Chains A and B, each alone.
Chain A
């Protein structure tokens, strides 16, 4: 079974530039999450999708961040414009909505963003 796929793995941009991250969850996983992980810290949730609906985006800085999950499968997270403080690893995770493993999240390898 393929895991959560993310691309790119690394991205270096200058401040004020836009950037986008892509995630393909595990097949059949209805729930998709985007996290930000700052250096030396644990992941913090940015947004959670149930199918194509964003059900928790309270921690997403909506002035510069946006996300979409068209057709309830792949998802894209965008930052425009990027700021120096956005440098972090952006993790995507997915999980089943029900069943014995419903509360287990499976993570992708992440995208390491460096803003110069």
Chain B
């Protein structure tokens, strides 16, 4: 079936450190890939997305590249800030958004 696997947390980094959160997917067909972020007490917010192979989604200093050959969509940021502390979810959807599957989430804590 269609599913997303992302690295388990929690992840704790110091401010200005480099961030990578791994995400791999299994899908029948050609999915769109997403990263959502959830701040404490809030709903999920779309961080970035990519709809086809080799697309790079980017937003707020975060980047992820759609790698079809490795079925991956790893999230990266060159220099994290305390305000980036949140839970990050990788997700995929097929066709007309009728089947969004989320990973379990990775909690990131950034310390000053």
Chain A interface (Cβ within 8 Å of chain B)?
4, 6, 31, 33, 40-45, 48, 55-56, 91, 93, 95, 97, 102-110
Contact = CB atoms under 8 A, between A and B. Distances in A.
B23 to A, nearest CB: 11
Given A4-B43, A43-B89, 13 more contacts: A31-B97, A42-B105, A43-B102, A44-B102, A56-B98, A102-B97, A103-B32, A103-B93, A103-B97, A104-B49, A105-B100, A108-B43, A109-B42
Nearest to A4: B43
Given A109-B42, A110-B43, A103 B102 contact: no
B9 to A, nearest CB: 10
Contacts of B49: 103-104
Interface residues of B, number: 24
B105 A103 contact: no
Contacts of A44: 102
B98 A105 contact: no
A104 B43 contact: no
Contacts, number: 56
Contact of B102 (A31, A42, A95, A109): A42
Contact of A109 (B36, B41, B96, B103): B41
Consensus secondary structure, chain B interface = strand
B44 interface: yes
A40 B87 CA distance: 10
Contact of B96 (A4, A103, A104): A103
A107 B105 contact: no
A95 B100 CA distance: 12
B104 A41 contact: yes
A33 B98 CA distance: 10
A40 B104 CA distance: 7
